[in-house]
Amino acid sequence: MAETSTELPTISLTGALEDYLEAIYELLLEHPFARVRDIANARRVRAASVSPALKRLASMGLVNYERREYVTLTEEGKREARRVYARHNLLTRFFHEILQMDREAASEEACAIEHCLSDEGMDRMVRFFEYLQTCPSADRQFLKKFHACSLVHDGVSDCGHHCPPRTQAQATDGKVASIYDLQPGQSGIITQVHASGAIRQRLLDMGILPATLVQMERTAPTGEPVWIRLHGSQIALRRQEAEAVWIEEQ
């Protein structure tokens, strides 16, 4: 006799519908049913906007809903809601506990990402937390050191780890210290972005990230801008920006 697969079918849900399922699930953790007005408050939308979503979820067999009636989840709805809820909590933990974002901001960030986190991505993140919790070889101090490191966190005083100051891009062992020090044709691997505020965000949005290869193309006669090659595209940087990007020369 052939074995029966235990794999459950995948339901295709939009991010918005997943948010509704998650909101209902959270309400049902504290109450026997969810009311439309409570769902609207949780989603920060008008009550009139909730009904179409509930009808859609009901047609998919995920909620029990009749017009002006209370809302509950079907067994399939509970399974889908738990899946979204688990991703949200995991991402919130990562942003709050690891990256030290404010809990509310961490939750909002998680809400934006949870819909596209793959099963593999979730599994890898869970394994990271498992490593921190269970592995005898895990360095219990590494998170504490990370949170206190003056090299990567603004507003943190010298942490005593013998890191070079954030404001001084000093070359070590003869290696080039920043993109600006590269000569035309030279390449380097980005190690850190020593900037803050709008400048840092602009650089990150350009794709200037750690472990990325960059190549100097040319520098304007006046010293700026400089043109670099990144991911096959030419990008112009002001001197201040180029000096803020530390690299290891290749």
Express each pLDDT in 109-166 by its tens digit: 999 999 998 888 888 888 888 887 777 777 767 777 777 776 666 666 666 555 554 4
> pLDDT digit string (tens) for 58-94?
999 999 997 777 999 999 999 899 889 989 989 999 9
The Cα 57–Cα 59 span in angstroms is 5
Is the pLDDT higher at 165 or at 237? 237
**According to CATH, what is the number of the domain 179-249?**
2.30.30.90
For the chain, the domains span 11-117, 179-249
The per-residue b/e assignment along 204-234, b for 16 or more CB within 10 angstroms, e otherwise, is: eebebeeeeebbbeebeeeebbbbbebeeee
What pLDDT sits at residue 194?
Answer: 84
248 in Cβ contact with 189 (< 8 Å): yes
Between 4 and 22, the higher pLDDT residue: 22
What was the pLDDT predicted at 175? 62
Here the tokens at position 117 are 């986190």
Task: Average the pLDDT over 14-31 and give the result.
Answer: 93
- Architecture of the domain whose range is 11-117: Orthogonal Bundle (1.10)
Residue 190 has pLDDT above 80, yes or no: yes
Q: Which two tokens stand for residue 189?
A: 């691997």
pLDDT the model gives residue 207: 82
Query: pTM for this structure?
Result: 0.70
> What pLDDT is attached to residue 7?
43
d(CA 38, CA 86): 21
